[in-house]
Amino acid sequence: MTAGLGATIMVVDDNEPSRDALSRRLERRGYRILTAVDGQQAVATGQAALPDLILMDLGLPGIDGWEATRQLKAAGATRHIPIIVLSAHAMTNDRDLALAAGANDFDTKPVRFEQLLGKIDMLLKGVEVR
């Protein structure tokens, strides 16, 4: 996928296998990957490295995914970075909460990879998907 070439995506997930599998699959598609294992790290890395897009898990230790999303969207430097929230909570109103926190899109885990790629592509092109 040429669209992903050169773009940097930060994968935030406390679950190592999930983080690893998703990161590797994205790398195979030509994206550069940053990772973060909790909310605090996600905010710090995000502000330091300024990735082109962030995939944010919600159930994180310490600062959770909503709070991290809020902080990133509140800071001037990172405000513009698109964030797709990924949640394993299919039952709660995570989607609404994530969008309220400032996330640009939402998807459930397990990830339907092709669908996710489509959303990433759109957001990187500057199209709001929601």
Q: What single letter denotes the amino acid at residue 5?
A: L
The only residue of 2, 80, 110, 126 in contact with another protein, by rule CB under 8 A? 110
Task: Give the sheet arrangement for strand 53-57, strand by strand.
Answer: 32-36, 8-12, 53-57, 83-87, 105-108
Q: Which is nearer to another protein, 79 or 112 (CB)?
A: 112
- Residue 61 φ/ψ, nearest 5 degrees: -70, 155
- From residue 69 to residue 108, what is the string marking binding to another protein with x (rule CB under 8 A)? -------------------xxxxx---------------x
Burial of 119 (0-12, 13-18, 19+ CB in 10 A): buried
Question: How many whole angstroms from its chain centre is CA 60?
Answer: 13
Closest approach, Cβ 74 to another protein, in A, equals 27
Say whether residue 22 binds another protein (CB under 8 A).
yes
Task: Give the pair of three-digit tokens for residue 21.
Answer: 């599998």
Q: Which is nearer to another protein, 50 or 111 (CB)?
A: 111
Q: Which is nearer to another protein, 76 or 91 (CB)?
A: 91
Which residues are near another protein by CB under 8 A? 15, 17-18, 21-22, 24-25, 28, 59, 88-92, 108-111, 113
